[in-house]
Amino acid sequence: MTDPLSPNGAPRPRIVIVGAGFGGLAVAKALAGADLPVTLIDQNNYHLFVPLLYQVATAALSPADIAEPIRHILSEAPNVGVVMGQVAGVDTDARAVRLADGSTIPYERLVIATGSTSTYFGHDDWAPHAPSLKSIEEARAIRTRVLQAFERAERATDPAERARLMTIVVVGGGPTGVEMAGSIAELAHHALARDFRHIDPTTAQVVLVEAGPRLLTAFPEALAAYARGSLERLGVRVRTGEAVEAIDATGVTLGGAVLPAATVIWGAGVRASPAAEWLGLAPDRSGRIPVAPDLSVIGRPGIYALGDTALCRDAAGEPLPGLAQVAQQQGTHLGRALRVALTGPAAGTSPLPPFVFRNRGNAAIVGRHAAIFDFGRGRRLRGFPAWLLWAAVHVVLLVDFAQRARVCLQWLWRYLTYRRGARLITAPPAPRA
């Protein structure tokens, strides 16, 4: 068995992949079984199916339903070693990745697929009052916050405070914000409807705030308008063209007025991981690393970047969007290309072929039985058929069979009953009263 990690002086690793998201995992899978030692580094021991994270935040799914141990996914790939660790930097001269624990992992080819994080546009003081949705811990914290607000409302005697506790504001009209708002409205107006004795959860206010003129700017206007209508039918108050001016423990300030809200969820901005800093490069204003068509980092031979952390332009010169399908296609492409380049007849010498993105359809779910799909070039789908397609696609994309069966079962059950199985308050209570 090859020894990719080699703390004991075995052959040094050749390919190091940082990040086990859709991109990094696809690279590792494409290299599985090759005669190349590969090391995959991630700060977690699991691959997270981020597109369904909002369902964990709204008690529809459990963390384990959308996360799969990385080692398990790659257990059949003896040439791929997995390291659970936090990357602190890259020493490009010595060709080694530095981990936070002080250890280093040498590489000959480095693939950076570290994704993106939330940004508060310089208002980091908003963060404690408005958690974002990037990790299982954050999803669990949001779930706890929403459910705890209803518990407090049930015991509140002051009508104003009760109303504040039953107001949830979602900031950001992108897919994350739209899906969160719709899912929270369902949770409050259906799943919790009969569970309280003093409050009526169906009167809970869910407000979706977007600074831009409309929702879902990545989608055609007609689909975005349909999505807005669907959300409003679910009871979501959509406020576009209104920028958030402040967020604190009492609520959100919009247009000079304070909207009292006990729960605020941040889905407004993402910024690429600090990979550019690691490489001493100037990122674009979203923090992304510019890459060549073959995904190689310009000016850093032997280093590649993909997914949300890379700025990759299509043939028309347009930057590719930060979508799971982009990262996954890039990862598969790069993994195969490296495999050929490093093991093929002309090993090492052949330049990598350019990446070409194939749009498999961009989707957003708007409530329990509606979704929108945009396949580009005017081809679209919306409503229940789109929801069915979305559900089918996401179930198939889930890594593990048992997960698929479990998620199918839960979706079916939840669809038939409006129930939410994972309504547990387990994270430490929110800091605010």
- Do β-strands 87-91 and 96-99 pair in parallel, antiparallel, or remain unpaired? antiparallel
Q: Tell me which of 138, 179, 186, 210 is the catalytic residue.
A: 179
The half-sphere exposure of 23 on its side-chain side, counting CA atoms within 13 A, is 24
Alpha-carbon distance values, 326 to 99, 173, 298, 313 (Å): 27, 21, 20, 11
- Among residues 91, 151, 277, 284, the one that binds its own copies under rule CB under 8 A: 151
Long-range contacts of 382-390 (CB under 8 A, 24+ apart): 382/223, 382/226, 383/226, 389/363, 390/363, 390/365
Q: Which residue has the tokens 């000079």?
A: 256
Asked if 332 and 140 count as a contact pair (C-beta separation under 8 A), the reply is: no
Taking the least distance from each CB to its own copies, the nearer of 68 and 374 is 68
Taking the least distance from each CB to its own copies, the nearer of 198 and 313 is 198
Q: Is 76 noted as a catalytic residue in this protein? A: no
- Do β-strands 371-374 and 104-106 pair in parallel, antiparallel, or remain unpaired? unpaired
What is the CB neighbour count within 10 angstroms for residue 23? 32
Sites for its own copies among residues 186-245 (CB under 8 A): 192, 194-198
- Among residues 121, 375, 384, 413, the one that binds its own copies under rule CB under 8 A: 413
* Contact status: 277 vs its own copies (CB under 8 A): no
- Among residues 102, 124, 157, 346, the one that binds its own copies under rule CB under 8 A: 157
Sites for its own copies among residues 371-400 (CB under 8 A): 400
Diameter of the chain measured on Cα atoms: 77
* Contact status: 33 vs its own copies (CB under 8 A): no
* Contact status: 409 vs its own copies (CB under 8 A): yes
User: What whole-number distance in Å separates Cα of residue 376 and Cα of residue 326?
Assistant: 14
* Contact status: 5 vs its own copies (CB under 8 A): yes
DSSP state of 265: E
| Shortest Å, Cβ 395 to its own copies | 14
Give the interface size with its own copies as a residue count (CB under 8 A).
58
Taking the least distance from each CB to its own copies, the nearer of 64 and 127 is 64
Interface residues toward its own copies, by CB under 8 A:
1, 3-5, 7-8, 44-46, 62-65, 67, 69, 71-72, 75-76, 78, 81-85, 103, 136-137, 140, 147, 151, 154-157, 192, 194-198, 400-403, 405-406, 409-410, 413, 417, 419, 421-426
- Catalytically annotated residues: 179
